[in-house]
Structure 1
Amino acid sequence: MVVVWAPGPARAQTTVQDRINSALGTWMAVNGVSNAGMAVMRDNRLVGSYGYNQMSAETPAHVASLSKAITAVCFLSLIDDRRLAGFRTALYSLPPSFLDATGPWSPGVANITVEQLLRHRSRIYIDTSQGSGLVGVPNADSSDVILIRRALAEHLLTMPVSEIYNNINYAILGYIIQTITQESYESYCRRTALAPRGAPNARIGPGTRALGAFGGWEISAVEYAMFARAYDPRSGLLSQAGHDFIIALANSSSPTASLGMFVVRTATGRNLFHHGSWSSTVTTPQQFSSFFAMWDNGISVTVTYDRNLTDSARLDLDNTLRRAAYSSG
């Protein structure tokens, strides 16, 4: 194990980053995880970077669904710059080239709004990226169109729904970005969402290009933590429209999908989090995971690791690090 900080012989009170690092080490031992990197932020300042075995907080890592926040912040720039009318923009109002590339559509698809995509409320329930969905799909930037076309040809759910988490929602958002800007999704998002927020080295991984806007980014824990400062209103790195969108449907009883993150309203603000996990024989690497959380006490963590674990193990990681973040030491 390689860590930035090692405990001294007579330390009366540990710092929050030390407690979080200790909690991560315990969780890793219980769950058989050997390689991980972690960045800890306090009030938008990096206060700890930790590495275990073959990974460090500076090692570029595949972050799976943490990519969705990058897509969401990137997409927000289209609204902030008035290149799209707003969150209620429907698919039917997009340039004809979008329909030509992704159609024919099943009934109701034309009325899906970008807000519904961002919040996983589109009623698209076939996730063509899961299971054997990527078998035979080229590992290329064009793969998103294949996955989108397959999903939008299927009927939408007709029953009332709140959220159905689906990678295709964000694949569509990524392709809208490309359609509107006439620039590749990767280069536009690196230029507008990542580099200005301290993450210039992020890229779509060579072996995960088919995951693109919903899960393809490769970025170090430190650079992701720098980028994700945008979700703290104090940072000034996200427009007011973005913060309003995040909190609009948030409640204290259950997490709500928002701008590429899940949000829970708290007595003093909001907590944000997202897990990323992936396992497939057709990607390189074949499995990887990540975790991000930003709590209302000003602490945030980004964790990358090279295993795909159970939902129970991921929930335990969330709970373990949150307890350490709020502990007084």
Structure 2
Amino acid sequence: MQTQTAKLVQISERKAGAEADMKAMKARLHIVAELFRYTVDFFHQESFLQLMPVMLGKSVDPLGPDPGSSIVKIPEIEYQGEKLRLVTSMILHKQLAVKHFSRIFIMSPNIRLERSERIRTGKHLFEFTQADFELRDAKMDDVFAIVEKYYAGLSKHMKEHAREHFKVLGIEPFVFRVPFKRYTTHELIDKYGEDWELKASMQHEQPFWAVCHKREFYDREDPEREGHYLNYDLVYPLGFGEGLSGAEREHEFERIKLRIERDGLPLEAYSHYLSKAKEGFEPSAGAGIGMERLARFLTKAKHVS
């Protein structure tokens, strides 16, 4: 009799646990829906033109050299004798588009084949979405102003439109307090060591900017300080890590060509992009907000999935 009762209790507990998990999942999905709605509305209100994402291209983001990258390969297909590569970010296409439109954004799906051990970080996916935006004739401070306005407004939006879903998760909507602190990566390395991101994130209660990363050829090198870069990450606090990356862009043909060569990349792989650069790019700056990472931070989920 006791054995039968124990079994019934276990079944009841499993059922209750499954129902609680389903309620939590539904709450998270409602929060994600509000996040996407807010994001699209925000960029429209800030006079950004929404463009459709590009999924295949002749010239795509190499995602390197970047010490933080763990890409195994960039998939490609062959069509009518031409090789097309999967677009891993819209950066090169944004540079083409911003020549004609002063403010653009794309809700851009990305596929990146990461090393399998990345699953343990809690923040990596094969498939994810970026709110990818670019501003013509802009500098780092212009991007910071837009981004901080976005996050400040997000707090208010979630309180007004998703508070009941946060209650299901047992948390309150996070209050972003702007302006966010700014550090150089050199300062962060001096304080926390080479693997500074997680350690610094754990020590903060608000997001912070990390400026100057050695990254891809399109991130502008400071013309007055060789080896320093006009790029930036926004790092979420409480151990959640990087959630946004961006930069001022290299826009002069000779500089772009030099950077590609310096990175050891084949010029022929970027022939289409370089031909457009030769015609002339406009100075610009932008960033990409990882939507799943932001949703993970907002809902305090263990994994981005």
TM-score, L = length of structure 1? 0.27
Higher Cα radius of gyration: 2
- Point out which structure has higher relative CO (alpha carbons under 8 A, 6+ apart): 1
TM-score, L = length of structure 2? 0.29
Structure in which a larger fraction of residues adopt strand: 2
